[in-house]
Amino acid sequence: MPNFAALTEAPIEFKRNARAALADGQLRRNFRGAMDFLMVKRAAQFADDEECEQLRAFGNRVRARALSRLPALLEQLEARLTRNGVQVHWAESVDEANTIVHSIVAAHEAKNLIKGKSMVSEEMEMNHFLGERGVDCLESDMGEFIVQLRAEKPSHIIMPAIHLNVGQVAALFHDKLEVDYTEDVDLLIQIGRETLRRKFFEADIGVSGVNFAVAETGTLVLVENEGNGRMSTTVPPVHIAVTGIEKVVEKLRDVVPLLSLLTRSATGQPITTYVNMISGPRQADELDGPREVHLVLLDNGRTQAFADSELRQTLNCIRCGACMNHCPVYTRIGGHAYGTVYPGPIGKIMTPHMLGLEKTRELPSASSLCGACGEVCPVKIPIPSLLRRLREEAARRADAAPHHVRGQGANHSTKEGLVWKAWVKMNTSPTLYRLLTYAGTRARGLTPANIGPWTEHHAAPKLAPRTLHERVREHLGEA
């Protein structure tokens, strides 16, 4: 079982997790099939390359514009929501966010929470936090419901149970819900529907995430296919939405390009079944909807990413998951191996800000830098460049200024530092360069045959018998 970052202090052992995942044939088949399916679906939605490229560039500008005025937009969002009757809370850490949620729960003496899909609530470990305090949180998204029944974490941000096949779900339902074993997906979904339907109206509080928070109108936009998001935000008397501070957009019309990019990139749909725009609690004359709506705005490392104009681009993310669907590493190892709430390429550039580089030191290197993630990102986050940047932050001395990322220097090695210093010295001094290359070529027989991981699969490199300078001179007849 991969170790999970948020619950332990130890660094995530990505390499160990990845090795275990690679040896799991069933897991690899499940992911290969799922990723191929999602890539084909996305490609079909972006049949016109030019439209795709223009829209991605536009999406990038819309997000960059929002971030360029983020503090003002957050204040505007808060003012509009407050005017609409929504209560806005701010949290710097997940502990603060959980405490806020718990205080709302306590004020209502709530015992049962029903949750629409929310990655920020996963980031908060909300179920765990409230569970310890005797409050039951039930996931209502079919995929989340399945992983919760297995006491697992989502392995994908859009399709949480993507690591499982139908046989595994059938066995799970048979075992946990005591229903007859069936591999008929329609029947399995109906079992989930019946089980959860009663839970929706028994719940004291509904919890959801937010896809876009519109500052102009004070509107929380949620997209989904199942209807569980609408149920969770409509049926219980109280609705708590949790979201990161970066999710705000300036105007309602800004949702148009982002919504199109999101649904087409995520699941290859022109639009999701439901686009749910919530601007306030139930009014006095209305007959349904929550009487109280809360929004919790969470920082949890986002202000750190925001502080640097290059790393800030991480916050463009609209959580579509296309980067993981197209990632050759993710496809082979699945989401759990990353040990983080956000797996795959976006997780590797986001999580270091949330947990620090000490715990996530192996993540920025868990990539071949093939560039696929950057090419499909709907808001053009330069993920490979940001991975390279984080590698640099992890390798710099811990005390080097300026200090951008918590855990800077986590991978710093004095030996490696000395090697590079020597390399610089050699390449900036012609005498030393000639001397060392001469010595190296003459002593080529002495180079080691075993140089760690490289020689496990490759022949050991050997210097040429003569230096390039010597050969050029010879070629020009000057020797």
Partner 1 sequence: MNARERILAKLRGSLEGTTPIADDYDTALVTTPWTYAPAQRVARLRAQLEAVHGETQLTTSAEWPARVFAALAERNIDELLVSPLTLHGQQLAAQLALNKGGLRLKAYDRAVETWKDELFFHTPASLTGTLGGIAATGSLIVWPTVQEPRLMSLVPPLHIALLKASAVFDNLHEAMHTQRWSEGLPTNALLISGPSKTADIQQTLAYGAHGPKELIVLILQDA
Enumerate residues 192-211 that contact partner 1 by CB under 8 A: 192-193, 196-198, 200-201
Across the beta sheet with 292-298, what order do the strands follow?
86-91, 292-298, 238-244, 205-208, 112-115, 136-139
- 308, two tokens: 């640097």
DSSP code for 69: T
Strand partners, 221: 212, 277
Q: Is 136 helix (H, G, I), strand (E, B) or coil?
A: strand
CA atoms 88, 93, 98, 100: torsion sign: negative
Backbone angles phi, psi at 409, to 5 degrees: 85, 5
Applying CB under 8 A, does 177 fall inside the site for partner 1? no
- Six-digit token string for 180: 């007859």
Given the complex with partner 1, which of 277 and 435 has the nearer CB atom? Answer: 277
- Taking residues 50 to 89 in sequence order and writing x for each that binds partner 1 by CB under 8 A, - otherwise, the string is -x--xx--x--x--xx--xxxxx-xx--------x-----
The span of 5-13, 266-274, 409-417, 433-441 binding partner 1 (CB under 8 A) equals 266-274
Smallest distance from partner 1 to CB 415, Å: 35
Q: Is 47 helix (H, G, I), strand (E, B) or coil?
A: coil
Residue with tokens 């920025």: 364
Judged by CB under 8 A, which of 219, 325, 351, 411 binds partner 1? 219
Q: CA–CA separation, 56 vs 263, rounded Å?
A: 13
Question: Interface with partner 1 includes 92 (CB under 8 A)?
Answer: yes
Contacts of 64 (CB under 8 A, 6+ apart): 313, 316
Q: Using H for helix, E for strand and C for coil, what is the string for 222-281? A: EEECCCHHHHHHHCCCEEEEEEEHHHEECCHHHHHHHHHHHHHHHHCCCCCCEEEEECCC
Question: Of residues 8, 10, 48, 454, which one binds partner 1 by CB under 8 A?
Answer: 48
Of 24, 136, 216, 392, the residue at the interface with partner 1 (CB under 8 A) is 216
- The residues, any chain, with a CB within 8 Å of residue 103's CB and separated by 6 or more, are none
33 binds partner 1 (CB under 8 A): yes
- Omega within 30 of 0 (cis) for the link into 402: yes
* Shortest separation between residue 455's beta carbon and partner 1, angstroms: 41
Residue nearer to partner 1 on the CB measure, 359 or 404: 404
Which of 203, 208, 186 shows the shortest CA–CA distance to 296? Answer: 208
Nearest residue (CB) to partner 1, 219 versus 243: 219
With CB under 8 A as the rule, give the number of residues binding partner 1: 99
Q: Does 256 bind partner 1 (CB under 8 A)?
A: yes
Nearer to partner 1, 22 or 39 (CB): 39
Min dist. Cβ of residue 437 to partner 1 (A): 46
Nearer to partner 1, 296 or 327 (CB): 296
Among 113, 126, 241, 245, binds partner 1 (CB under 8 A): 245
Closest CB to partner 1 among residues 283, 414: 283
Site for partner 1 in 407-466 (CB under 8 A): none
Tokens linked to 401:
């200024």
Residue 160 binds partner 1, judged by CB under 8 A? yes
> Which residue type occupies 431?
T
Chain-centre distance for alpha carbon 458: 34
Select the span of 190-198, 317-325, 390-398, 437-445 touching partner 1 (CB under 8 A): 190-198
Task: Out of 13, 22, 37, 204, point to the residue binding partner 1 (CB under 8 A).
Answer: 37
CB 335 to partner 1: min, Å: 14
Site for partner 1 in 318-347 (CB under 8 A): none
Scanning residues 268 to 307, which ones bind partner 1 (CB under 8 A)?
270-283, 285-289, 297, 299, 303, 306-307
State the minimum distance, in angstroms, from the CB of residue 161 to partner 1: 6
